[in-house]
Chain A
């Protein structure tokens, strides 16, 4: 079926058949087949999900409280709203965090104002104020972040002024996030709301003299299953110092002086690229698109970093670490490659992993035949060059934009314009190429995949592995196809870096080679000779 685009077009046509006319037109624009000959590919993304179409998407609150803020260890995440939203954000995303010596870690707790009907009628401000007071009295945190859930905006609670008052009253950092679930079209809106607020009111509020040779920030890495632990290990081994992490295994306290870094590494472009841009504008810090998933991508990222800092000693150290790490995993990884050769994967994840994992699979012999994002934007598919062409929708306009300007006191151009241009020829400095360019001809790209499309495409393409989240994991299993969650990594990880790649290969092997799949058909479904007569039946 591969490389036979006509056949694949039929598959997509068949998928679209079931939709009512309007929905069909809409969905058609969210899918395409990679075809090098056609040159540019255009896909529709970051637009509303059609009501009733069973999407995997979550809401702005999930993107804000769950994705961006959740991993910050030293923060009391106070959810203002009815109980559910806080409950579901409790320990479900597998962002891990270990407190520094003496530091507090609130990751295992969830906090809510548990809004009741009387609060909806008369307003919940009194309750929120009291909840803040109680949190301060019991836990004495250095930072409280208040997140709003659906009803808050509608009943008009002013969480921003409550945050300001509390900050003055208790002398701690209190921030408010207007991330009501109906804002935007997906979690992506919540990433924006969270990050803009952090940029506006947390980054740069403290200066710190750092005695670091290569100070960097890690951006868009959320430490799912311990990925950031592994990345930290490698970077520290080479000699980098992480100033702050946005936000896996990170703290609000570190973000306060994150403008002291000399380079921002962007792992998940979707959730944070605009903040990286603002750092450059405001403080003069460039950003480098990295991918620490997969050995090949990791090596590329490490070499680019060394090249950026342009220090022979650092380059040498980098090569040494690469060689050391590779030596430990190459043999087994190659054996997995032989084992998996020819197998195919169907990826539908978030806003960056559907791209990031393609090299991970490729290295172990598995080809990606379908890939799509749940809440990516066009630039995540097509590359940053399309950003000027992206039309603003009404939903985009509802999310306040943050404008930053050069901070005259703190701005410090890390590399000259000429140097930057030179580096940009060699590496994705301030640039992301998107997912599509790297994909093979004949593969399908699909945005905001839904339940119906998942089933139809699986039936038509029969991939060996389906990677998505928990909501469609077991649907895939019922069809006899192993599913690996690439949001939460199921119960495993880390998958980042060198050792992580091997761990991933082992988990894939455990999944697809599990004997259970061979038991699906009971033996009596094949011809059984029914010759016996015990019991006198015959």
Chain B
């Protein structure tokens, strides 16, 4: 029940109620799972690791395995060096990963453990790799943590091969998206015959088949040689400014690989921009089959525009996806009236405000907001549709508004992680979901005697 949310605003500077973000390490853990043979390791007390594993497991319905330094009070006072060393020894002996990807937690950050120096003093087994990212939970959000772990991959692993100038490849950072999205990006790249290094890559890691065998390190994930090779690529495309841009800039700084920062390709415009950029960078054409998919999408939108036109929508969730979704619902003729992310960053507000420059209706935009705030906005200015993660169902139930689940996390529906949201194909699926939600509502609310078959 959310019946205690008042319509009237009261000043609130310190109390967060029902957040639309979580902490850095879970993002880092998710990024690390996109490296082949990697075991994410959480340097802190074991509760964080347990929470992060549980939460990712619920979204993907897949095993998410990670280890912890299991701090006790002693480690919190004297530092976690001994715990990390013991942990690494046990990990390599018992679980034999190719890579250990260490993230910090607010505990080890507050203590000030220097992971780099601890690892330097550790005897890493032959052929194994350790990477580490600093992910203090009191800065940014899970998206920041994702970005920090991807950046660590680049910082610690990318190399430039001096003799051969380039590997003729394109680096592609997909952002905090589902395996289904990653498969779609790869399909587009392959259709265009582009050689790429995509990282992190959780496809074939968090969408594995049930075949009676459990494989702790499934076949997917970007490999260490591929990550080493990113310094030799010709350019980097980063999808999603918040999740991916920093790593692209790091590659530029380190090896002069030119970065191109694009929106997460959700919806027609953002996907167009991705394809244009791919064409420009590679000189390759967009193949007919992809162009046809675009045409189908346009056809669908034209034929069903009446379902969307003028409908008021609230969009909430992680910044990259919310930005693209806002652009997409605008392109459907809908009116985004409340746009909110929990990740604190002014750039979000600037980007969305710019998108809304033609809007002739009142709207709210906030970064660093929470679901309680969104709920209050909706009480004051109701909407026809909610677009965001599972937690919005509290608002949806209380205010009787349809909810289309998109983004992270989705805990109360399934299959989402297998299907794309990005690309033209993803947009078609999104249109189907939005249309279905709006029309189910219309059918429910229409007088039975006036029920229609054709809508």
List residues of A whose CB falls within 8 A of some B CB.
Answer: 18-20, 23, 48-62, 78, 81-88, 90, 92, 99, 104-106, 108-117, 119-120, 127-128, 130-131, 134-135, 137-139, 149-151, 153-155, 180-185, 394-395, 398, 451-452, 455, 469-475, 477-480, 516, 520-521
Chain B 36-60 near chain A by CB (<8 Å), digits 1 or 0: 0000010011111011111101100
Are B63 and A108 touching (Cβ within 8 A)?
no
Are B73 and A51 touching (Cβ within 8 A)?
no
Q: Which of B19, B46, B212, B214 has the most CB of A within 10 A?
A: B46
Closest CB-CB distance, A30 to chain B, in whole Å? 15
B105-113, B240-248, B442-450 - the one binding chain A: B105-113
Assembly CA distance A180 to B71 (angstroms): 11
Are B95 and A452 touching (Cβ within 8 A)?
yes
Are B138 and A52 touching (Cβ within 8 A)?
no
Are B110 and A155 touching (Cβ within 8 A)?
yes
Are B107 and A154 touching (Cβ within 8 A)?
yes
Are A478 and B208 touching (Cβ within 8 A)?
yes
Q: A117-B139, A474-B57 are in contact. Are A62 and B50 (CB under 8 A)?
A: yes
Q: Which of B66, B76, B136, B141 has the most CB of A within 10 A?
A: B76
Closest CB-CB distance, B41 to chain A, in whole Å? 8
B90 and chain A: residue at smallest CB distance:
A52
> Inside 8 A of B329's CB, which chain A residues have their CB?
none
- Tell me which of A61, A78, A105, A480 contacts B47 (CB under 8 A): A61
Assembly CA distance A130 to B15 (angstroms): 8
Q: A114-B16, A521-B212 are in contact. Are A151 and B138 (CB under 8 A)?
A: yes
Number of interface residues of B (CB under 8 A): 82
A20 and chain B: residue at smallest CB distance:
B93
Chain B 1-24 near chain A by CB (<8 Å), digits 1 or 0: 110101000111111111101111
A469 and chain B: residue at smallest CB distance:
B54
> Inside 8 A of A50's CB, which chain B residues have their CB?
70, 86, 90
> Inside 8 A of A23's CB, which chain B residues have their CB?
90, 93-94
> Inside 8 A of B16's CB, which chain A residues have their CB?
83, 86, 111-114
Assembly CA distance A19 to B89 (angstroms): 10
B138 and chain A: residue at smallest CB distance:
A82
B139 and chain A: residue at smallest CB distance:
A117
> Inside 8 A of B211's CB, which chain A residues have their CB?
478, 520-521
Assembly CA distance A48 to B46 (angstroms): 11
Assembly CA distance A48 to B87 (angstroms): 13
Closest CB-CB distance, A527 to chain B, in whole Å? 19
Are B107 and A151 touching (Cβ within 8 A)?
yes
Are B6 and A138 touching (Cβ within 8 A)?
yes
> Inside 8 A of A184's CB, which chain B residues have their CB?
72
Known: A111-B17, A479-B214. 12 other contacts (CB 8 A): A52-B86, A55-B46, A61-B47, A82-B137, A83-B22, A88-B22, A109-B4, A116-B139, A117-B136, A134-B14, A395-B73, A469-B54
Q: A117-B139, A150-B105, A182-B71 are in contact. Are A108 and B2 (CB under 8 A)?
A: yes
Closest CB-CB distance, B67 to chain A, in whole Å? 5
> Inside 8 A of B94's CB, which chain A residues have their CB?
18-20, 23, 52-53, 452
Closest CB-CB distance, A94 to chain B, in whole Å? 12
Q: Which of A19, A55, A395 has the most CB of B within 10 A?
A: A55
Q: Does B83 contact A (CB under 8 A)?
A: yes
> Inside 8 A of B107's CB, which chain A residues have their CB?
150-151, 154, 181-182
Q: Does B213 contact A (CB under 8 A)?
A: yes
Assembly CA distance A20 to B76 (angstroms): 25
Are A471 and B1 touching (Cβ within 8 A)?
no
Closest CB-CB distance, A380 to chain B, in whole Å? 20
A112 and chain B: residue at smallest CB distance:
B16
List residues of B whose CB falls within 8 A of some A CB.
Answer: 1-2, 4, 6, 10-19, 21-26, 41, 44-48, 50-55, 57-58, 61-76, 83-84, 86-91, 93-95, 105-107, 110-111, 136-139, 141, 208, 210-216, 372, 391, 394
> Inside 8 A of B136's CB, which chain A residues have their CB?
82, 117, 120
Are B50 and A112 touching (Cβ within 8 A)?
no
Closest CB-CB distance, A221 to chain B, in whole Å? 22
Closest CB-CB distance, A5 to chain B, in whole Å? 26
Are B69 and A52 touching (Cβ within 8 A)?
yes
- Tell me which of B17, B24, B91 contacts A110 (CB under 8 A): B17
> Inside 8 A of B45's CB, which chain A residues have their CB?
59, 150, 181-182
> Inside 8 A of A149's CB, which chain B residues have their CB?
106
> Inside 8 A of B141's CB, which chain A residues have their CB?
83
A476 and chain B: residue at smallest CB distance:
B214
> Inside 8 A of A60's CB, which chain B residues have their CB?
47
Assembly CA distance A478 to B136 (angstroms): 34
Assembly CA distance A507 to B435 (angstroms): 34
Are A84 and B54 touching (Cβ within 8 A)?
no
> Inside 8 A of B46's CB, which chain A residues have their CB?
49, 55, 57-59
Assembly CA distance A528 to B2 (angstroms): 58
> Inside 8 A of A49's CB, which chain B residues have their CB?
46, 70
> Inside 8 A of B64's CB, which chain A residues have their CB?
471
Q: A82-B137, A84-B25 are in contact. Are A59 and B47 (CB under 8 A)?
A: yes
Are A83 and B95 touching (Cβ within 8 A)?
no
> Inside 8 A of A181's CB, which chain B residues have their CB?
44-45, 47-48, 107
A-B contact pairs, 18 of them (CB 8 A): A55-B50, A78-B15, A83-B21, A83-B23, A87-B19, A90-B19, A92-B54, A111-B16, A119-B138, A130-B13, A130-B15, A134-B11, A180-B76, A181-B45, A470-B54, A471-B53, A471-B57, A478-B213
> Inside 8 A of B74's CB, which chain A residues have their CB?
394
A477 and chain B: residue at smallest CB distance:
B210
> Inside 8 A of B137's CB, which chain A residues have their CB?
82-84
Are A82 and B106 touching (Cβ within 8 A)?
yes
Assembly CA distance A85 to B50 (angstroms): 11
Are B110 and A398 touching (Cβ within 8 A)?
no
> Inside 8 A of A180's CB, which chain B residues have their CB?
76
Assembly CA distance A90 to B66 (angstroms): 22
- 4 closest pairs, A vs B, by CB? A59-B47, A84-B23, A52-B87, A52-B90
Are A479 and B213 touching (Cβ within 8 A)?
yes
B43 and chain A: residue at smallest CB distance:
A51
B75 and chain A: residue at smallest CB distance:
A182
Are A131 and B14 touching (Cβ within 8 A)?
yes
Are B210 and A520 touching (Cβ within 8 A)?
yes
Are A473 and B90 touching (Cβ within 8 A)?
no
Are A81 and B394 touching (Cβ within 8 A)?
no
Assembly CA distance A351 to B83 (angstroms): 26
- Tell me which of A51, A119, A185, A472 contacts B87 (CB under 8 A): A51
> Inside 8 A of A127's CB, which chain B residues have their CB?
14
Assembly CA distance A51 to B11 (angstroms): 44
Assembly CA distance A51 to B69 (angstroms): 5
Are A150 and B44 touching (Cβ within 8 A)?
yes
Are B67 and A84 touching (Cβ within 8 A)?
no
Are B70 and A117 touching (Cβ within 8 A)?
no
> Inside 8 A of B57's CB, which chain A residues have their CB?
470-471, 473-474
Are B90 and A20 touching (Cβ within 8 A)?
yes
> Inside 8 A of B25's CB, which chain A residues have their CB?
84
B111 and chain A: residue at smallest CB distance:
A154
Are B48 and A470 touching (Cβ within 8 A)?
no
Are B10 and A138 touching (Cβ within 8 A)?
yes
Assembly CA distance A216 to B107 (angstroms): 41
Are B212 and A480 touching (Cβ within 8 A)?
yes
> Inside 8 A of A78's CB, which chain B residues have their CB?
15
Are A398 and B73 touching (Cβ within 8 A)?
yes
Assembly CA distance A84 to B47 (angstroms): 11
Assembly CA distance A379 to B86 (angstroms): 29
Assembly CA distance A9 to B44 (angstroms): 35
- Tell me which of B4, B50, B71 contacts A56 (CB under 8 A): B50
